[in-house]
Amino acid sequence: MSCLEIENKNAIATITLRRSDSMNAFNDPFIKEIITAFESLQKDGVRVVILRAEKGVKVWSAGRDVESLPAGADDMDGWQTQMVALGRVIRNFPAPVIAMIEGSVWGYGCEVVLSCDLIVANEDVTFAITPAKLSGTYVIEGLRTIVGRLGENLAKEMLFCAKKLDAPRLYAQGVINHVISSGDIENYVDDMARNISQLAPLTITSLKKQISDITRTFPLPLEILDESDRLAVSIFSSNDYHEGVTAFKEKRKPEFTGL
């Protein structure tokens, strides 16, 4: 059964996440389905995409599905492939992607939102990225997205403290474009999408590509990628990683030792 609802009308597409029984946590099949949706919409020539969860949800996304995390260093093959691919698909999509956010956003869900071009959230939204609570690690390309959108200081606070940041603060920092009340957010995003869809699509596609080229430099030096892989292996091999995941599943506070 599909975990998405896709609507395409008047060159405006809406992708609605519908894995609400798992709080829209991302596992590989779910990520692949979203990637396929974007690829299909690109062929259809849509001019704007709205990415949202179902209306009224408390959690926009719980992040990476903990059941799909590597069991250890020997289980790492391909664990980040789909995660990296979805971010690239959103960033490289030729039309603007608007993230419409109701409910809290956690972990990898934040990366997905920050990969979008525009972010509109209601006033109760919070964001948190918490690998430090699991003794996990992060995909380096995802970190580039996070740091690029948040800036170094705010990214460090979010990652090091593993605490929630609310929409008003992120709006004040220029991360969120607009904070809108729950009752008005759908109309606001629809109006924004409609306005964009009526403007020159070739210009907007060109501007999106140029801005991406200015703000992202590829490829990263090979030694940085190799070091990132070594760090990931060491973390997924650690006692702390096993303790963090076990404690999360048992709903208790982990006891980290640094080993």
Q: Is residue 208 part of a domain?
A: no
Q: Is residue 15 part of a domain?
A: yes
Q: Is residue 12 part of a domain?
A: yes
Sort 90 into a burial class: Cβ within 10 Å, 0-12 / 13-18 / 19+.
buried
**Please, how many CA atoms are within 13 Å of residue 87, restricted to the half-sphere of its CB?**
22
Question: N- to C-terminal Cα distance for the chain?
Answer: 42
Number of domains in the chain: 1
CA angle 216, 220, 225 (to 5 degrees): 135
Which pLDDT does position 72 carry in this prediction?
Answer: 63
Which pLDDT does position 235 carry in this prediction?
Answer: 83
Residues spanned by the domain of 85: 4-181
The 10 Å Cβ neighbour count of residue 83 is 21
Q: What is the CATH number of the domain that holds 95?
A: 3.90.226.10
Secondary structure tally for the chain: helices H, strands E: 10, 10
pLDDT tens for each residue of the chain, 259 residues long: 789 999 999 999 999 999 988 999 999 999 999 999 999 999 999 999 999 999 989 999 999 887 776 666 665 666 677 788 999 999 999 999 999 999 999 999 999 999 999 999 999 999 999 888 888 777 788 889 999 999 999 999 999 999 999 999 999 999 999 999 999 999 999 999 999 999 999 999 999 999 988 887 667 778 887 787 788 788 888 888 888 888 888 888 888 888 8
The set of residues, in sequence order, having a beta carbon less than 8 Å from that of 160 and lying 6+ positions away, is 132
The 10 Å Cβ neighbour count of residue 94 is 15
Q: Is residue 218 part of a domain?
A: no
Q: Is residue 65 part of a domain?
A: yes
Pairing of strands 104-106, 126-128: parallel
Which pLDDT does position 74 carry in this prediction?
Answer: 65
Distance CA(36)–CA(86), nearest Å, equals 10
